[in-house]
Amino acid sequence: MPEVELKYNYPRIILFIIFAILMIVLFSYIYLNSFEFSLRKPGFSRNNWVGHLFYKNEGLLSVMSIFTILLFSYGLVCFVKLLFSKSLIIKNESNYIYINQKKIESLANITEARTVNANNNKKIYFFYKVPRDRKIAKYIPSLLKKWFQKNEYIYDITFIKEKPAEVDKLLNKLLKN
């Protein structure tokens, strides 16, 4: 039962956690003081349209603050999960690929595994001999799959210590065993 273990880059994860906490504190302050901020007259700078957008519009400022607080809270939860899970484990067990005990695909149906780096986001893609037979329930992912990437990404490896070339070698070695 061959296995690949990829460790997470903890300093980078901790920096993102600190950034998320700071953004939550900042937008909480904006939410709590939205009445005073909405009464300030917009300045005469190049970006004064932002001031005109929120001037005397406390509700819009509150809604935008809550939305960004929820967005950064979701990111914080995801980063804390990454912090507590020590590593990413990819196994070849009984001719099936498992990623963190989640069954992915039969080894006979996979032609190759590749890491793709797009805008500093690294993802693992598996290329199949026979495409999966499953109904796509959501419309937008099907459009993205149709126009941009023909395979769905399996796992995001942006916060892994190893470089994508090393991960490629390890994955292809795992597939050959």
Written as one string, the DSSP assignment of 145-163 is: HHHT-SS-EEEE-TTBSS-
The predicted-structure confidence for 51-77, as pLDDT tens digits, reads as follows 677 777 888 888 999 999 999 999 999
The sheet with strand 121-128 has its strands ordered as 110-118, 121-128, 153-156
Mean pLDDT of 93-103: 84
Q: Which residues are bridge partners to 114 per DSSP?
A: 125
pLDDT band (50, 70, 90) for residue 47: low
Per-residue confidence (pLDDT) for residue 56, from 0 to 100: 79
What DSSP state is assigned to residue 42? P
Instruction: Decide if pLDDT at 109 tops 50.
Output: yes
What is the crossing angle of helices 58-84 and 10-32, to 10°?
Answer: 160
- What integer is the mean pLDDT of 31-47? 78
The predicted model scores a pTM of 0.74
Q: Identify the residue whose tokens are 């080894």.
A: 107
CA angle, 44 then 48 then 50, to 5°? 155
Give me the long-range contacts of 73-80 (CB less than 8 A, separation at least 24).
73/20, 73/24, 75/16, 75/20, 76/17, 76/20, 76/21, 76/24, 79/13, 79/16, 79/17, 79/20, 80/17
The beta strand positions in the chain, using DSSP E, are: 3-7, 87-93, 96-99, 102-106, 110-118, 121-128, 153-156
